[in-house]
Amino acid sequence: MNAYSIILRRRLRKEVFIMIPCIEYTRASTSRQEYSVGDQDKSIRSWAERNNYKIVRSYCDDGISGHYAAKRPGFLSMIEDITAERIGVKALLIWDSFRFCPEYG
């Protein structure tokens, strides 16, 4: 095997990346917030792509305060899907912990 064949083999070798299945959750209380759910989604998807995460489902509460979980249909749907094991995911991606739970942000 010469140097050329080694270089050629390296170029032809396919790199295999294992994509980690995940979900994303976005929330904004008002449209006047600094980061809209669209901004959060764009940032999360960019990070996921760079870090080999595959978003299999997105949950969103736009224009809803984070103080009461019972008033957040996207959040409740996400919790229900996870606990009922409807989706097989390994991670939850959020833009900021405050978007998930203001008390712990």
Q: 3-state SS string over 36-61?
A: CHHHHHHHHHHHHHHCCEEEEEEEEE
Distance between alpha carbon 60 and the CA centroid of its chain, in Å?
A: 11
Longest dimension (CA), the chain: 67
Confidence (pTM): 0.76
Q: According to the model, what pLDDT value does residue 99 have?
A: 64
- Please report the pLDDT score of residue 16 as a whole number: 59
**What is the pLDDT averaged over residues 23-33?**
83
* Mean pLDDT along residues 7-34: 73
Distance CA 1, CA 102 (A): 61
Between strands 20-28 and 91-94, the pairing is parallel
pLDDT given at position 5: 46
* Residues 85-103 pLDDT 10s: 888 889 999 988 766 665 5
Structure tokens at 58: 């997105």
For the segment 10-39, the average pLDDT, to the nearest whole number, is 78
- pLDDT at residue 43, as a whole number: 95
pLDDT tens by residue, 32-65: 667 889 999 999 999 999 999 999 999 999 988 8
Note whether 69 and 75 are within 8 A (CB). Answer: yes
